[in-house]
A = this chain, B = another copy of it.
Amino acid sequence: MDIRKKPIRVGMIGYKFMGKAHSHALRDLPFFFEPAGVPVLQAIAGRDEAALKQSAEKMGWSSYETDWRRLIERDDIDLIDIVTPNHTHAEMAIAAAQAGKHVLCEKPLARSVAEARQMRDAVNKAGVIHMICHNYRFAPAVQFAKKLIEQGRLGKIYHIRATFLQDWLMDPEFPLTWRLRKEVSGSGSLGDLGAHIIDLARFLVGEINEVVAMLETFVKERPLGEMDQHLRGRPGNGQRAPVEVDDAAVFLARFDNGALGVFEATRFSKGNRAGNRFEINGERGSLRWDMENMNNLQVYLDGDEAGLQGFRTINCTEVEHPYAAAYWPAGHIIGYEHTFINLMLELCNGIANGCNPAPNFEDGLRNQLVLAAVERSDQTGRWVKVMEMLDN
């Protein structure tokens, strides 16, 4: 490693799906980029020692801890990376901040606005660098979209319509995972998928002023699975329990800048595996993006000669596109995992340079306010101002 570069010793809590994505990104970051700070995969924490040991070896971590508090106490750790279920985020992030560690936390930041505020306050008080893992911002096509909007290519924004459509939960016999239990996840598709498209909308269009929403749980109860039995202390012999969170969340939004938003997050849209898509319409142009073809950005520019107007399919793998030059030649696409590598670049540069990247816990809190407003609107049947949720 370049000795002029600061090592950033990482401790990661959790090691499942997101742990894999984060570990891979930390490993690949210095291969593709020249980050100001270079991540060192120091240790992971979890409860199941056998699984933990195997994961550490597989993913390239030097050590492990069976108690996450031990990880935070270690003085050879600079950054705590939290990839555990939502109900643990607040306690872990606050403890990490209090221990003077920088913090990266998976989304949604918390289960509630109250938790999210405490987390934001804790990192601010501790003066540590913090980030929330809204990785989709870091697709080159999305960053390029941002650049076009900032350059005024679209003019005033009138509309955004965004979806995150999945279908993995449609089988009524699929068990009640932690993602379906309110005390663990906070909400269902809303916090899991909706949080991502809210982040994209905030990033690209601006702050949301008010929302009106409907949530729906199509399958009202599900079989208890193994994990649930463990957590609840009862056998899983065919027992069922109520699903406590939404299967689908749809809402309308008014942005501070007058744009109108239409959002839809659902796990019940057959055939859509990862339908994270948006279209933005402005005064002078429009953009379309689809995560399943994430290298492409569709761009319509009003200034194009009459007769030659149409959406351009731009494969964002050119040197002009953010992050793209670090990878492969034009036309040689990248994938899902690269959004994490790009995010880690911003985080490690932020830590090395002492300046906070975005999206951070402030963004996480803002996002949480929207989630809360959506839930409140569903309960009350009326429009809810996002900032009103701050005091809830």
**Interface residues in chain A, defined as those with a beta carbon under 8 Å from any beta carbon in chain B:** 1-2, 17, 21, 23-24, 27-28, 30-31, 57-60, 144, 154, 158-159, 161, 163, 165-168, 170, 212-214, 216, 218, 248, 250-252, 254, 258, 260, 262, 264, 266, 268-275, 279, 281-286, 291-295, 299-302, 304, 306-315, 317-318, 320-321, 327-338, 381-383
Number of copies: 4
Residue contact A315 to B310, C-beta cutoff 8 Å: yes
Contact of A271 among B281, B332, B337 (CB under 8 A): B281
Contact of A321 among B17, B307, B329 (CB under 8 A): B307
Residue contact B212 to A273, C-beta cutoff 8 Å: no
Residue pairs across A and B with Cβ atoms less than 8 A apart, 25 shown, are: A24-B28, A27-B27, A158-B248, A159-B266, A165-B281, A168-B329, A168-B330, A212-B381, A214-B252, A252-B252, A262-B262, A269-B286, A270-B282, A270-B285, A270-B286, A272-B331, A292-B333, A293-B293, A293-B333, A299-B308, A306-B320, A310-B315, A334-B336, A335-B335, A382-B382
Q: A310-B312, A333-B294 are in contact. Are A286 and B272 (CB under 8 A)?
A: yes
Chain B min CB distance to A202 (Å): 19
Residue contact A313 to B313, C-beta cutoff 8 Å: yes
Residue contact B318 to A306, C-beta cutoff 8 Å: yes
Residue contact B328 to A332, C-beta cutoff 8 Å: no
Contact of A307 among B144, B218, B295, B306 (CB under 8 A): B144
Q: A252-B251, A260-B216, A312-B310 are in contact. Are A328 and B337 (CB under 8 A)?
A: yes
